[in-house]
């Protein structure tokens, strides 16, 4: 008697979809948990300014134009509060998870895909970028889509996948320029495959690469013509900074970074040593990390610094895939121990991210100014950019509580850019007012020793609450804000 039963492949497919859905739900919880709890800092306030301006302002930054366009549409519908500003990045992080899982499954085994996605969802740097109003999470999403579409194009030779690859790759550069280096890694992997197989590339693939290059070229040319002023704040590479970058890629834990570096090297050695066709996916993954990483360091050493852990976020998926492949090769007991240790270290970093203040505390500064200022006081901003303070004052509706005129330029979006206060301007404001509130953060251009005719009545420092949990920012001193009340001696 025939008894109908579900084919094994359907049951396996259901389990596969259940795993993917579980990872996506976990990413949604981690991405949106306490999303609006932290203050909006300088770069995020600038994002609001660019996004809510006219279309020409989307291109003014010479980077992230696609992100500003999408953020402008979202902010005009849902507002520009901290939660609303960061929701686009959180959604991009959530959407990138099933793409990454599908890519890992297509390249390797399902077990490797599960391990890699577990590391991906809990990576503190990716979660950090998903909770920031910047274009990094969108760039990671498009790079994952680009890699998956490229793989499908190679496997199926279909025009729909070729077009998807061209669009995802070309648009990723408009989310962040560093994605162009990921495209170079793809081309290196394709060149290696062509030399190995000695076959002409499929016309779909050739057309897709050409179209992607044409789409990405305007963004790269515009950034090149803009010069190096936008990255003038970056430092040249050094061994401590390179190691700090590896730590950040791993989620901010030095022990985890060392373990993942060993695992990555194991995958790289295995992929480069074995001249077999089965090593092609692992070689592509290793190149997907090494090519952008090494090129950014070489360019930083020879031309101008461009290497920064924030920019390396687009190659974190390749890094995690190589690590997952190394873990998957371990015996069962060692595999469980290694994966548990990695997830435990990531959980510690995630807890620090959610519970520690790791951004500039401009809301508290605005509240202090509103409480301490008098109508005849003067405000002096000696800061790198006043956008975050202006944003905090507007969001908290404290403009009426501050000395007039506030702000120094009328509030508008895009947020106005106030030049750094010079010593001459400070002296002029001191002569015009008996009391002055001096706010400083990153620039500190003024020499307080020159203020001989004035004394400091009080000083307030606003710094991160937990310095030990802040390796993801790498420059905690730059986020300390100082407010001083200056009074005349007589």
Is 440 in contact with 386 (CB distance < 8 Å)? no
The order of strands in the sheet holding 454-462 is 378-382, 436-440, 481-488, 454-462
pLDDT of 152: 92
pLDDT of 4: 41
Q: Of 201, 200, 204, 202, which Cα lies nearest the Cα of 159?
A: 204
Examine the pLDDT at 447 and tell me if it is beyond 80.
no
Please give the mean pLDDT across all residues of the chain: 84
pLDDT of 28: 97
pLDDT of 8: 45
pLDDT of 348: 87
SS3 481: strand
For the question of whether the overall pTM of this predicted structure is more than 0.95, the answer is: no
Q: What is the mean pLDDT of residues 93-100?
A: 97
Examine the pLDDT at 476 and tell me if it is beyond 70.
no
Examine the pLDDT at 6 and tell me if it is beyond 50.
no
Q: Of 399, 391, 441, 398, which Cα lies nearest the Cα of 421?
A: 441
Q: Of 437, 419, 440, 451, which Cα lies nearest the Cα of 368?
A: 437
- As a whole number of angstroms, the distance between CA 450 and CA 466 comes to 33
Examine the pLDDT at 283 and tell me if it is beyond 60.
yes
Least confident of 124-133, 134-143, 466-475: 466-475
- What's the pLDDT band for 214 if we cut at 50, 70, 90? very high
Question: Using the 8-state DSSP alphabet, how is residue 314 labeled?
Answer: G
Examine the pLDDT at 489 and tell me if it is beyond 80.
no
- Residue ranges of domains in the chain: 8-352, 362-488
pLDDT of 5: 40
Q: What is the mean pLDDT of residues 108-115?
A: 93
Least confident of 246-260, 304-318, 397-411: 397-411
Examine the pLDDT at 185 and tell me if it is beyond 80.
yes
- What's the pLDDT band for 192 if we cut at 50, 70, 90? confident
SS3 382: strand
pLDDT of 412: 43
pLDDT, tens only, 29-71: 999 999 988 889 888 998 998 998 888 889 888 899 999 999 9
pLDDT of 112: 94
Is 425 in contact with 436 (CB distance < 8 Å)? no
pLDDT of 196: 66
pLDDT, tens only, 195-204: 666 555 678 8
User: To the nearest whole percent, how much of the chain has pLDDT over 90?
Assistant: 44
């Amino acid at each position: 008697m025939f008894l109908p039963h579900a084919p094994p492949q359907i049951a396996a497919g259901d389990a596969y979809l259940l795993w993917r859905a579980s990872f996506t739900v976990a990413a949604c919880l981690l991405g949106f948990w306490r999303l609006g709890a932290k203050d909006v800092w300088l770069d995020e306030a600038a994002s609001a300014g660019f996004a809510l301006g006219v279309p020409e302002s989307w291109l003014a930054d010479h980077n992230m134009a696609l992100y500003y366009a999408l953020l402008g549409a979202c902010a005009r519908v849902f507002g520009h509060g901290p939660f609303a500003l960061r929701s686009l990045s959180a959604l991009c992080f959530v959407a990138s998870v099933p793409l990454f899982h599908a890519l890992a499954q297509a390249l390797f085994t399902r077990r490797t895909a599960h391990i890699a996605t577990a590391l991906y969802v809990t990576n503190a740097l990716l979660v950090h970028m998903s909770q920031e109003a910047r274009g990094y999470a969108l760039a990671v999403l498009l790079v994952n889509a680009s890699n998956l579409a490229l793989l499908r194009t190679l496997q199926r030779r279909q025009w729909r996948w070729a077009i998807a690859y061209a669009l995802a790759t070309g648009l990723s550069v408009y989310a962040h320029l560093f994605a162009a280096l990921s495209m170079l890694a793809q081309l290196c992997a394709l060149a290696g495959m062509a030399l190995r197989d000695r076959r002409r590339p499929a016309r779909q693939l050739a057309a897709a690469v050409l179209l992607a290059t044409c789409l990405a070229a305007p963004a790269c040319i515009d950034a090149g013509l803009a010069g190096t002023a936008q990255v003038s704040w970056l430092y040249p590479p050094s061994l401590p900074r390179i190691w700090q970058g590896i730590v950040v890629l791993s989620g901010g834990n030095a022990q985890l970074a060392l373990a993942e570096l060993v695992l990555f090297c194991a995958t790289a050695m295995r992929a480069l040593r074995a001249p077999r066709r089965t090593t092609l996916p692992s070689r592509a993954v290793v190149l997907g990390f090494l090519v952008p990483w090494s090129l950014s360091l070489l360019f930083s050493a020879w031309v101008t610094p461009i290497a920064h852990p924030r920019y390396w976020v687009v190659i974190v998926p390749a890094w995690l895939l190589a690590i997952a492949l190394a873990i998957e090769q371990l015996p069962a007991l060692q595999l469980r121990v290694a994966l548990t240790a990695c997830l435990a270290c990531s959980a510690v970093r995630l807890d620090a991210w959610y519970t520690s203040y790791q951004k500039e505390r401009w809301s508290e500064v605005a509240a202090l100014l509103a409480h301490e200022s008098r109508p005849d006081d003067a405000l002096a901003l000696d800061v790198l950019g006043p956008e975050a303070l202006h944003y905090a004052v507007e969001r908290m509706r404290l403009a009426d509580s501050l000395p007039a005129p506030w702000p120094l330029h009328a509030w508008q979006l895009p947020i106005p850019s106030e030049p750094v206060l010079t010593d001459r301007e400070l002296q002029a404001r001191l002569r015009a007012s008996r009391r002055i509130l001096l706010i400083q953060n990153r620039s500190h251009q003024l020499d307080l020793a020159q203020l001989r005719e004035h004394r400091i009545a009080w000083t307030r420092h606003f710094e991160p609450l937990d310095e030990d949990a802040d390796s993801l920012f790498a420059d905690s001193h730059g986020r300390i804000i100082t407010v001083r009340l200056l009074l005349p001696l007589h």
